[in-house]
Chain A
């Protein structure tokens, strides 16, 4: 698979001598849905800023779809769409104008820009508000506006820095569906998020950044396989009987309707449900007690 983004030995030291990036090495394949995880201040936004041309690197190499950033800065900007973490548009501009202007900065004429802005605004459920000033939008709408703006020049790589912050559950799910569609159309998506559930459900590959370094880069599947234990909550609609102690796995009764089960790698949930059913314990609903990725992320970044 061709490589969409390669970062080699990227270092960023700010004027106040703060070392934000201490030698980042990263590689993202074309067509990937890639998660970039890290706690606040880990260096994710700085890395994205350098890739998109918002910040100057101290040293290192950035290569986008075979183009070296040092010699092809403009070409690279045409290939990347950025949805930043902070709102960064003029609040006193009408929404449609924001999109048309952004297209204009990419050299797209007004007629084409207007037509595609309509498509994006309708997809983002903002079309009715196209003439409103950006300041009148809710937080979630402003995020969707930034997503539409990032897509107005039809980039091959979409970088999303905390896209779901402040977006309600329903809109977030709708945004996920849209992002999956984009990815299926061939757009490489790089996502930073604090919602680990988001990374787990959307992304195929992942890098974990901690204190200015990539401490892990692997596939989501491989990473999650490392979690040997999984804790699940089992919910029954009937009042639970006494729980036998010789089931072969650790089961705790939380209340009359809820059980907590700890699964080791040698047993899966289907087997658990079958055994419980044999003891006349019928389970209607199963959910994670804790996100698996969250457990792993905390372990990795705390050095465990």
Chain B
């Protein structure tokens, strides 16, 4: 139980995928203009990460490792994740149209989100078992959500602020802000070991 909490907390705060490992930067910069959009994207990514891990972990353990062809990991995972996202979109469209309407525009973006691939591959390379992998994926998704919402808040202050020099307006100041936000997450380094260690 303690291990699971440590995995969850460390993947949310310390090893935040967006701010510490710099995965999933595209939606982080692209969909973080408004807080509600950032929340929608974050929730969708969390759901996809958990489901993708639940599917890819058994494939790696029972198929790839048994056959001794672990080098196919990346290709197989990409294939599975892309199929999964499309499948989830079809299911949502049919059975939960309201959820599809709010998440629908983000789902195709997740298909090629490297954070999802990163989570599934890292779960294998970290040697987690199935339950630990699920918790790790959940934590990474929540960490992504946290980073998105935080950064959307920062950006809402930056947008339309005419005190920013003209050369820095738009993307440059966004990148600078992103680096400062990610720097602030460095402060969480070591917190887990001291809390639970």
A associates with B: no
Interface positions of B (Cβ within 8 A of A): none
